[in-house]
Chain A
């Protein structure tokens, strides 16, 4: 640009060159370069995310051998099965309970970490984030061993308090509890780290002002901390709701859906039906039931993000 202004001669020759090969000029345009740079990303998303998503819709309308179109036959079949409704119920219980406790626990831990002197915080934060860093498949194995029916280290410890052997993964209700517990263990550190970042961004003056006005600790949380963190809490919760709802690793390794399908959630049941039972269309139909709740959460997150974008 600068030398165009200084040397008009050169600009003229450049224009002539541009006329000579219009293809080259298109290739050198800023938007074309940008498009080419983003092209691999576009191709990846189009072929490996968007196409399979629609392909799943198509698959869901076929019969088991994938030779015949059955329309909504698979869904009809699912609605008549008791296991399906069990899975729906369990997915909702699993996701809602786990996210609630993760959010609550994360909030409490973040507060305690925030309370202690700044130079010790790093160490504690480092320790408390370990569950999030370990691959969930590996840590769930440790939990499986802690819950082992005959060698459970928890039951060993509890026996000293006279609490009889607990069937951690054997009984339907305990198995649900165990699966949720492990999920909370994995996910709470994520909330903790997000809330901690948010807590640090709340200006100290607000707390000082609240203290001068005579607010107790509860009022300080309710009227200062929570309103200031509302955005982060909303985004983290919605995000975690998606991830938890679509969870696979923990349930698969800990109980594999058992006992008697009482811990199956959408993802594990879709795997059982679609891959292990090689009924791909039915598996695809099962996993499609995750879409509505994911879509609702995604809309809320997007609204939030664009709102913040406008503010900035």
Chain B
């Protein structure tokens, strides 16, 4: 093969370059063609949400072309945004997410610092354990946790089930392991000279963390914060199991349990609710895409 090409290197080289660039042009065209197909596949559901949210119930039940809005109206948005119940869901979701993000950061950043920089008995085992915990899905734990909280309520008289703040205890089990894991990765990548210099200058461990590690690992911190927020905003199983009264529900469960009444599906409102529920993560993603992707890939590429 190689000897043959060397033999007629002179004349064929130019032709081969030409065919290569033609190949590349075709490859490019095919790439765009398939990317457009995949983009349509990816964006159909969210766009359909938007289309349906702009329709009145009359237009939906008239079964005209579902892909087009003939009489756009904002009545679904007005209806939901003036309903106390819906605002309550939004408020609950926002409270839960903000508190969970705070709790997660307060637990995972010091722990990641300790695990990445300061050795103590069992620290390597713990680092592996943190990663293993991240692999345990919530669907494995929700039944024993439900029973645990019920028993806890019987013993102490503190009723946690069916209160929105029970989610503040539950969500960190989903967010803390991953956030700790990626923060260990970011902290470990900080050069040792930096904190040695700080210690020599008389900084305490706490000061080293707040003055050196947090500012330097800020991108990782942002990625972890975004992750914690998205997870707690999107979580569906725990609120479905642990909260039932309508004033304690968060967005995803609230929309599904209150807007779907028996067999009557008010699809205009459901789609509006779904779109509003998807909005906060989408907005964060739109502005902080690079951090979002960094957090996504960090779990597997770091460490």
Q: What is A's interface to B at a CB cutoff of 8 Å?
A: 1-2, 30-35, 37-38, 40-42, 44-45, 48-49, 51-53, 55-56, 59, 66, 105, 108-109, 112-113, 115-116, 122, 124-139, 141-143, 145-146, 148, 150-151, 153, 156-157, 185, 189-190, 193-194, 197, 213-214, 232, 235-236, 239, 242-243, 245-249, 252-253, 266-267, 270-271, 274-275, 280, 283-284, 287-288, 290-291, 294, 297-298, 301-302, 305-306, 309
Contacts and interface: CB of A to CB of B under 8 A. Distances in A.
Contacts of B190: none
Interface in B132-147: 132-133, 135-147
Given A44-B173, A55-B148, A153-B67, A130 B43 contact: yes
Nearest to B40: A127
Given A31-B120, A31-B121, A287-B140, 17 more contacts: A37-B118, A41-B107, A45-B173, A48-B173, A52-B141, A66-B147, A132-B296, A135-B277, A138-B234, A143-B45, A190-B296, A194-B297, A214-B2, A246-B140, A267-B237, A275-B241, A280-B143
Contact of A271 (B31, B43, B241, B275): B241
Interface in B256-291: 256, 265, 267, 270-271, 274-275, 277-278, 281-282, 285-286, 289
A31 B135 CA distance: 28
Contacts of A266: 139
Contacts of B111: 37-38, 40-41
B267 A34 contact: no
16 contacts: A34-B115, A37-B111, A37-B113, A38-B126, A59-B144, A127-B39, A130-B46, A138-B234, A146-B45, A151-B60, A194-B297, A239-B300, A291-B140, A294-B136, A301-B135, A302-B131
B115 A284 contact: no
B271 A45 contact: no
Contacts of A270: 139, 143
Interface of B: 1-2, 5, 27-28, 30-32, 34-35, 38-39, 41-46, 48-49, 52, 60, 63, 65-67, 106-108, 110-111, 113-115, 118-121, 123, 126, 128-133, 135-148, 169-170, 172-173, 176-177, 180, 199-200, 205, 230, 233-234, 236-237, 240-241, 252-253, 255-256, 265, 267, 270-271, 274-275, 277-278, 281-282, 285-286, 289, 292-293, 296-297, 299-301, 303
A31 B60 CA distance: 65
Given A133-B281, A142-B45, A153-B48, A56 B144 contact: yes
